[in-house]
Amino acid sequence: MFRKYGFVGIVLIVISEIAILQNINPIASWYFPIIWTGYILLIDAIVYSIKHESFISSRPEQFAGLVALSAAFWWAFEFINVFTQNWAYVSGSNTLNLFNYSVKATIAFATVLPAIFETLELILTLHLFDHAKLKKSHNITKRFLHTMMGLGILFLILPIIFPTYFFPLVWFSFFFLLDPINYLHRQPSIIAHLKDRKLKVPLSLFLAGTLCGFLWEFWNYWAPVKWVYDLPYIGFLKVFEMPILGYIGYGPFAWELFAMYNFILSMRYAKHNPFLHTIFSKRELR
C-alpha cells in the first residue's frame, strides 16, 4: 500500500520545480528544503509499499531523531568550512552570510541524514547487495582500531591547519575516528564487515550517499540560493557546481554520517541499538 504522504512528496517536488522555472516566491526561495522533504516522503512511501514498514510510518520518533541530528551534524561541517572555505552560499552574484539565514539553513540541513537513511533503506529493501562478500575474513585488532582513530584525529586537524592541501580529509575524518569506537562498543559499524565479510551495508550506504550527492548537486544547480565551490587543484570539469572528482567523496560521506549517528546513539544505548535492529538483522550487526 502506497502511503498518502508519498503523493504529498510528489506534489512538493513538482511544485518546487515549477516555482524555480517560473521564479515563484516564497516557494523558490525555500526550494531546497521543500524538494528534499518531497523526496524523503516519496522514498519512505515507496519503502512502505514494498515491505509494509518504514521510518515515518513505523518509527516516527526515530525519524524525528534523524531530523534533529542531521541539522546538528551539518552545522559541524559548516564550522569546519569556516577554516577550509571550500564552499559558500550565494544568491545571484551576492555572497550570503549564512548566519543571517540560520533558520532556513537549519531546516535545509535537517533533510541530509533522513535523505541518506531513507535511500539506504530503499536500497536494502531492494536487496541489491545481499550476496556481495569479501573473499576472506580479516581480523580486527585493537592496534588497527587505535590506528584508525589516530588517523581520524589527524584527518580532522590537518584540513583546519593546512586547508589547501588536506581539505578532502574532512570527509573521512569522523568515519575513521568514530567507526572504531562504535565497533569497540558493539554498535553498528562499517569495519565490522571486514570480519563477517558481508558488504551489503557498506555498499548500500556508499550507493545511497552517491545517489543523494548527485541529487544534491542537481537540485542545487537550479536553486536561486545555492552553494558554489572553491576546491584547490580539483576544481576542473564540473558536473553542475561540483567538480567531477568531488563526487568521489559522497560515498565515504554516507559512511561518516552512519558512524556519527551510531556514535550518538551509543551514548544513549549502552549495549544495543534498537533503531538499527529494525533495519538490519542481528547477524548483520555483529
Q: Taking all residues of the chain, what is their mean pLDDT, rounded to a whole number? A: 90
Residue 273: the pLDDT is: 46
Strands 94-95 and 238-239: unpaired
Query: According to the model, what pLDDT value does residue 81 have?
Result: 96
- For the chain, state the CA radius of gyration: 19
Mean pLDDT of 39-59: 97
Convert the pLDDT of each residue in 129-149 to its tens digit. 999 999 999 999 999 999 999
C-alpha to C-alpha distance for 174 and 178, rounded to whole angstroms: 6
Give the pLDDT confidence of 148-163 residue by residue, as tens digits.
999 999 999 999 999 9
Give me the pLDDT at residue 240, please.
94
* Per-residue cell: 94: 551576492
Q: Which residues pair with 94 in a beta bridge?
A: 91
- Whether residue 280 is predicted with pLDDT greater than 70 in this model: the reply is no
Quick check: 26 pLDDT over 70?
yes
Burial class (CB in 10 A: 0-12, 13-18, 19+), 4: exposed
**In the chain, where the domains are located:** 4-285
Q: Is the backbone peptide bond immediately before 188 cis, with ω within 30 degrees of 0?
A: no
- The average pLDDT across 256-282 equals 68
- Sheet containing 225-229, strands listed edge to edge, beginning at the edge strand earlier in sequence: 94-95, 87-91, 225-229
pLDDT, tens digit, 9 for 90 and up, residues 215-256? 999 999 988 888 999 999 998 999 999 999 999 999 999 999
Residues 162/243, Cβ–Cβ less than 8 Å: no
CA 10 vs CA 34, 41, 121: distances in Å = 11, 8, 19
At what angle are helices 142-161 and 170-184 packed, to 10 degrees?
A: 150
- Whole-prediction pTM value? 0.90
From the list 191, 181, 201, the residue with the least C-alpha distance to 267 is 181
* 53 has a pLDDT exceeding 70: yes
Encode burial over 126-164: b for 16+ CB neighbours within 10 A, e otherwise: eeebeeeeeeeeeebeeeebeebbebbeebbebbbeebe
The dihedral through the CA atoms of 264, 61, 55, 195 has a sign that is positive
Q: How many CB atoms lie within 10 A of CB 231?
A: 17
> Which tens digit of pLDDT belongs to each residue from 79-97?
999 999 999 988 764 555 5
- What pLDDT is recorded for position 285? 40
Give residue 266's pLDDT: 84
Instruction: Tell me the residue type at 131.
Output: H
Residue with cell 531523531: 65
Start-end of H helices in 85-132: 102-109, 112-125
Taking only the tens place, the pLDDT of each residue in 102-124 is 788 899 999 999 999 999 999 99
